[in-house]
């Protein structure tokens, strides 16, 4: 691409507009032709730089498809498209507009607070913000009711796609518990749009589909799915995002006069941040995922344990995470690899097993700035901007070579570029 700021902004806005379908945005043409949950919330931040109204609409559209129980699905299939598998015929959730039956990282609370804070005329958007606030709160309540039935303060994911980190090394051992017998015959479509070497393996896909069939057979009843799932992982990044969103809606609710949402969200945060301590590893100097069924920490140094810094975690933990990231910088050209390059499972071009993802960089950099770890935050922002300057607005990047991988012209990468340009610490002359 280019190093010129105005040209970079123009290129990013062009991608956002190109993937805009009017009231929602697709992650990229071809590979992902529907609306994805956390993609939309993060992409709305990018849209807010040039069209505030459109940014609110992006999140409003997503929440129009919230389930009656409060869940917000990970995909909304607005228009039929044969280019993606698994489509509505596999999920069979029987919604008026078809959706998937699982969820994704709850970044909406953070996003609406940021949109609100940025708005030049708050009185104009107060009603929209209040309406969304109560929907986001219902989603959060759903999480703690359905995904934390023992009230530990931390929620579990029941499918790798819920974490948004589809094929992370974190799942490898736990995934062995997911059978493959009885999986329907299927044809993947992702490998026709992207290099198969950059995508999850066939064995992983069979387990993804087995879980969908299993949940479908239980009628997508969220009062049953958690306990019935052979895969229950407490992911520190996922919980970190959720807790950050709870903190943000607690503040936003206070500002909008919604005292009861404010109080209950603050209580969730207090309990959740305490519980996060159970995921800390002194050995790895970061948080780790926990396999809830085995009650064991998963000894896998992935980005999930660093992403936790997006929540208002303890300052000393945040400092350790900053040190961990600097250390990763000695083993990778670009920050932040999604898995430690020193680990044998690391793969620099395969999806969530090593590549750099700009949305994760953004959330980590935000957390680092909060605790004034500016050197590390700046290094992440610099890496991110260099990646797009040299390799375009790709889905993700190889942390050694910087090569763009997966889909091209990617919406949330474009959105993050606009955010990073704003985050750059001004140089003092």
Peptide bond into 257 cis (omega under 30): no
Q: Which residues of 131-168 are buried (b: 16+ CB within 10 A; e: fewer)?
A: ebbebbbbbbbbbbbbbbeeebbbbbbbbbbbbbbbbb
Q: Residue 421 is inside which H or E element, if any?
A: helix 411-423
Q: Which residues contact 60 (CB under 8 A, 6 or more apart)?
A: 128, 131, 132
Give 204 or 265: the residue with its C-beta nearer to ligand GLC.
Answer: 204
To the nearest whole angstrom, how small is the minimum distance from the Cβ of residue 259 to ligand GLC? 34
Question: Are 286 and 306 in contact, with CB atoms under 8 Å apart?
Answer: yes
β partners of residue 212: none
Question: Are 121 and 127 in contact, with CB atoms under 8 Å apart?
Answer: no
Among 166, 170, 235, 258, the active-site one is 166
Question: Are 261 and 253 in contact, with CB atoms under 8 Å apart?
Answer: yes
Going 229 to 231 to 237 to 239, the CA torsion angle's sign is: positive
Among 373, 395, 398, 419, the active-site one is 395
Q: Is 337 in the site for ligand GLC (CB under 6 A)?
A: no
354: left (phi over 0), alpha (psi -120 to 50) or beta: left
181 is catalytic: no
Give 356 or 379: the residue with its C-beta nearer to ligand GLC.
Answer: 356
Q: Is 205 in the site for ligand GLC (CB under 6 A)?
A: no
To the nearest whole angstrom, how small is the minimum distance from the Cβ of residue 410 to ligand GLC? 7
Question: Are 129 and 248 in contact, with CB atoms under 8 Å apart?
Answer: no
Give 71 or 256: the residue with its C-beta nearer to ligand GLC.
Answer: 71
Compute φ and ψ for 36, nearest 5 degrees. Answer: -105, 145
Q: Is 67 in the site for ligand GLC (CB under 6 A)?
A: no
Among 46, 164, 329, 392, binds ligand GLC (CB under 6 A): 164
To the nearest whole angstrom, how small is the minimum distance from the Cβ of residue 85 to ligand GLC? 12
Q: Is 36 in the site for ligand GLC (CB under 6 A)?
A: yes
Q: Which residues of 209-240 are buried (b: 16+ CB within 10 A; e: fewer)?
A: bbbbebbeeeebebeebbeebbbbbbbbbbbb
Q: Is 208 in the site for ligand GLC (CB under 6 A)?
A: no
Which range, of 15-23, 36-44, 84-92, 367-375, touches ligand GLC by CB under 6 A?
36-44
| Six token digits for residue 7 | 């040209």
Peptide bond into 404 cis (omega under 30): no
Residue 154 per-residue DSSP state: -
Give 83 or 270: the residue with its C-beta nearer to ligand GLC.
Answer: 83
**Cβ-proximal residue to ligand GLC, closest one:** 164
To the nearest whole angstrom, how small is the minimum distance from the Cβ of residue 202 to ligand GLC? 16
Which range, of 14-22, 34-42, 130-138, 375-383, touches ligand GLC by CB under 6 A?
34-42
Q: Is 32 in the site for ligand GLC (CB under 6 A)?
A: yes
CA distance 156 to 238: 9
Which range, of 16-24, 32-40, 143-151, 331-339, touches ligand GLC by CB under 6 A?
32-40
Give 36 or 420: the residue with its C-beta nearer to ligand GLC.
Answer: 36
Which range, of 35-43, 171-179, 218-226, 306-314, touches ligand GLC by CB under 6 A?
35-43
- Number of amino acids touching ligand GLC (CB under 6 A): 7
Question: Are 392 and 404 in contact, with CB atoms under 8 Å apart?
Answer: yes
* Degrees, nearest 5: CA angle 339-341-345: 70
Burial of 257 from C-beta contacts in 10 A (0-12 / 13-18 / 19+): exposed
Give 280 or 346: the residue with its C-beta nearer to ligand GLC.
Answer: 346
Residue 197 per-residue DSSP state: G
Give 21 or 372: the residue with its C-beta nearer to ligand GLC.
Answer: 21
Among 11, 15, 39, 393, binds ligand GLC (CB under 6 A): 39
To the nearest whole angstrom, how small is the minimum distance from the Cβ of residue 27 to ligand GLC? 4
To the nearest whole angstrom, how small is the minimum distance from the Cβ of residue 74 to ligand GLC? 7
To the nearest whole angstrom, how small is the minimum distance from the Cβ of residue 233 to ligand GLC? 15
227 is catalytic: no
| Six token digits for residue 266 | 């603050």
Give 143 or 280: the residue with its C-beta nearer to ligand GLC.
Answer: 143
285: left (phi over 0), alpha (psi -120 to 50) or beta: left
Q: Is 166 in the site for ligand GLC (CB under 6 A)?
A: yes
Among 24, 38, 139, 144, binds ligand GLC (CB under 6 A): 38
To the nearest whole angstrom, how small is the minimum distance from the Cβ of residue 426 to ligand GLC? 32
Active site residues per annotation = 166, 395
Residues of this chain that interact with ligand GLC (CB under 6 A) are: 27, 32, 36, 38-39, 164, 166
């Amino acid at each position: 691409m280019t190093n010129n700021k105005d040209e970079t902004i123009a290129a990013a806005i062009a991608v956002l507009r190109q993937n805009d379908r009017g009231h929602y945005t697709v992650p990229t043409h071809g590979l992902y032709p529907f609306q994805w949950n956390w993609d939309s919330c993060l992409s709305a931040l990018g849209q807010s730089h040039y069209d505030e109204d459109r940014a609110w609409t992006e999140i409003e559209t997503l929440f129009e498809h919230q389930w009656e129980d409060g869940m917000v699905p990970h995909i909304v299939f607005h228009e039929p498209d044969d280019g993606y598998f698994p489509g509505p015929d596999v999920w069979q959730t029987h919604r008026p507009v078809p959706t998937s039956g699982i969820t994704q990282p709850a970044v909406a609370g953070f996003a609406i607070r940021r949109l609100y804070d940025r708005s030049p005329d708050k009185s104009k958007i107060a009603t929209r913000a209040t309406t969304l606030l109560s929907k986001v709160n219902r989603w959060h309540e759903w999480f703690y009711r359905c995904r934390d039935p023992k009230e530990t303060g931390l929620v579990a994911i029941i499918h790798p796609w819920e974490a948004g980190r589809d094929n992370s090394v974190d799942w490898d051992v736990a995934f062995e518990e997911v059978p493959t017998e009885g999986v329907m015959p299927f044809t993947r479509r992702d490998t026709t749009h992207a290099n198969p070497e950059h995508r999850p393996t066939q064995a992983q896909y069979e387990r993804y589909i087995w879980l969908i069939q299993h949940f479908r057979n239980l009628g997508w009843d969220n009062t049953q799915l958690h306990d019935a799932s052979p895969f229950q992982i407490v992911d520190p990044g996922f919980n970190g995002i959720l807790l950050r969103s709870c903190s943000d809606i607690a503040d936003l609710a206070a500002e909008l006069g919604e005292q009861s949402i404010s109080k209950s969200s603050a209580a969730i945060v207090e309990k959740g941040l305490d519980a996060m301590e159970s995921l800390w590893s002194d050995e790895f100097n970061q948080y780790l995922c926990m396999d809830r069924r085995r009650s064991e920490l998963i000894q896998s140094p992935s980005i999930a344990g660093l992403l936790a810094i997006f929540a208002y975690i303890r300052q000393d933990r945040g400092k350790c995470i900053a040190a961990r990231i600097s250390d990763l910088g000695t083993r990778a050209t670009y920050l932040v690899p999604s898995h430690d390059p020193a680990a044998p499972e690391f793969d620099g071009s395969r999806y969530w097993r090593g590549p750099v993802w700009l949305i994760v960089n953004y959330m980590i950099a935000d957390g680092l700035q909060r605790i004034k770890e500016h050197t590390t935050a700046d290094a992440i922002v610099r890496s991110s901007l260099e990646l797009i300057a040299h390799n375009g607005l790709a889905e993700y990047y190889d942390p050694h070579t910087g090569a763009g991988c997966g889909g091209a012209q990617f919406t949330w990468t474009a959105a993050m570029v606009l955010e990073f340009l704003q985050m750059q610490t001004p140089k003092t002359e």
